[in-house]
Amino acid sequence: MAEEKKISMAVIRRLPRYFRYLSDLMKLDIKRISSKELSERMQITASQIRQDLNCFGGFGQQGYGYNVEYLYDEISKILGTDRRFSCIIVGAGNMGNALANYENFSKRGFDIVGIFDVSPDKVGTVINNIKVLHMDMLPEFVKTHHVDIAMLTVPNSKVNEVAIQVTELGIKGIWNFSPTDLRLGDDVIVENVHLSDSLMVLGYRLKESMEGRKTS
Amino acid sequence: MAEEKKISMAVIRRLPRYFRYLSDLMKLDIKRISSKELSERMQITASQIRQDLNCFGGFGQQGYGYNVEYLYDEISKILGTDRRFSCIIVGAGNMGNALANYENFSKRGFDIVGIFDVSPDKVGTVINNIKVLHMDMLPEFVKTHHVDIAMLTVPNSKVNEVAIQVTELGIKGIWNFSPTDLRLGDDVIVENVHLSDSLMVLGYRLKESMEGRKTS
């Protein structure tokens, strides 16, 4: 079974991309695809694709290609897209609002079950049918609702404190939107969305391109 | 000179992180740091750090460590943090609002000079002192304002069309927040923030962790 095998994080980080492309192919009713064609669509080398997909038994056949549905199902299984995760958002500012309204998350198995803030302007307002609660209510909330993931969209100066607070309540997954790299217990999984880092890389590549150097 | 040397994109993508950590060290008035200590702080192996920093002349000395300010300056030069980039936001929804209000971007050299939308509810409103203009005004705006980067926070169904529109007006940098991987001319630089991909990786790691397997 593909799931039994240890797959490197570098490959795992590319899987959601394969998942998106394969899902698009299925919508187009495409049954088979060669690594060359997939390579052109995804702008990844064909050899990288073969290497990645071989990790979980997606062996293409010469002149025959990959079975799109099989690969899609295998990747779904590995990524665990059949699971549902209960999530809370801490920080009901613009970014918190954006996340609460993102329809894609629920389709991917991530349900927003609560939104928390400390500001009197925010507490009591309703975002996408969810009433924003005060952070003081979080311990009680976690007792009565299972929560897998806390999405932290609080100011940078508060993020450490909030991360400690939510993990002490037993929440094991943190989606961190602050520029701070959090240091938490070994049993806590943190994924970061460092927007400034991404923007700085864009700035670098743009500068290189304007000066006539190519990056990719 | 460090800038003359070709540095791989894998290293470039780690530079903003070094930049953040070195900037924190400077704020703490720390002058020198060993690769071991930097490794513990950043949770990157010391050997990876040595390899990365050697790419741009950041040679540490045995028992002496790295000169924090020198490294910070070198990384700043490579990333081009002394440059300023003019940016527009297309899509004045929650995510566009969040980006327009993000103070960090201006500190990093990215100035928001315009915000555009098509919705009558949004056009004419003011976000962080910038009046939202109708997309029809964009060609005229680009004639009178230099624009380096378009930050696209439009619905997924519109992103291709909008990306073509802004690049045809001569904008060379795209910061794409949709799940779609854009295909544009070779002279256009695209960086993606695929939120669902990041969340799916978090889900995967959480599942592995709950099942007693460790990923990192």
* Digit-coded pLDDT (tens) for A184-208: 988 999 999 999 999 999 999 999 8
ipTM: 0.90
Position A31 in a domain: yes
Position B120 in a domain: yes
B111-to-A206, B69, B106 alpha-carbon distances in Å:
15, 26, 5
Residue where a domain stops, chosen among B44, B64, B79: B79
Token pair for B127: 């976000």
B38 vs A215: which has the higher pLDDT: B38
Whether B193 and A194 lie within 8 Å, measured CB to CB = no
Same domain, A52 and A133: no
- Given A80, A98, A108, which is nearest B95 (Cβ)? A98
Distance CA A27, CA B143 (A): 40
Q: What is residue A63's predicted lDDT score, i.e. its pLDDT?
A: 66
Residue B88 has pLDDT above 90, yes or no: yes
B208-to-A49, B131, B203, B211 alpha-carbon distances in Å:
23, 47, 9, 5
Helices (H), B2-149: 9-27, 35-42, 46-54, 68-79, 94-100, 103-107, 138-144
Q: What is residue B60's predicted lDDT score, i.e. its pLDDT?
A: 61
* Across A59-83, average pLDDT: 82
* Across A118-134, average pLDDT: 97
Same domain, B192 and B89: yes
Residue B141 has pLDDT above 90, yes or no: yes
Position B216 in a domain: no
3-state SS, residue B186? coil
Residue B3 has pLDDT above 60, yes or no: no
* Across B132-161, average pLDDT: 96
Position B203 in a domain: no
Q: Which residue has the tokens 């070709």?
A: B6
- Count the neighbouring beta carbons within 10 Å of the beta carbon of residue A7: 17
> Total structural domains in chain B?
2
pLDDT-derived band at A36, boundaries 50, 70, 90: confident
Q: What is residue B1's predicted lDDT score, i.e. its pLDDT?
A: 41
Same domain, A111 and A167: yes
Same domain, A43 and A11: yes
Residue B215 has pLDDT above 80, yes or no: no
Pairing of strands A32-33, A66-67: antiparallel
Same domain, A164 and A89: yes
Q: Note whether B203 and A79 are within 8 A (CB).
A: yes
Q: Note whether B163 and B178 are within 8 A (CB).
A: no
Domain that holds residue B129: 85-197
Same domain, B93 and B193: yes
What's the CATH number where A9 sits?
1.10.10.10
pTM: 0.88
Residue where a domain stops, chosen among B26, B50, B79: B79
Contact list, B173 vs chain A (CB under 8 Å): 202-203, 205-206
Whether B110 and A199 lie within 8 Å, measured CB to CB = yes
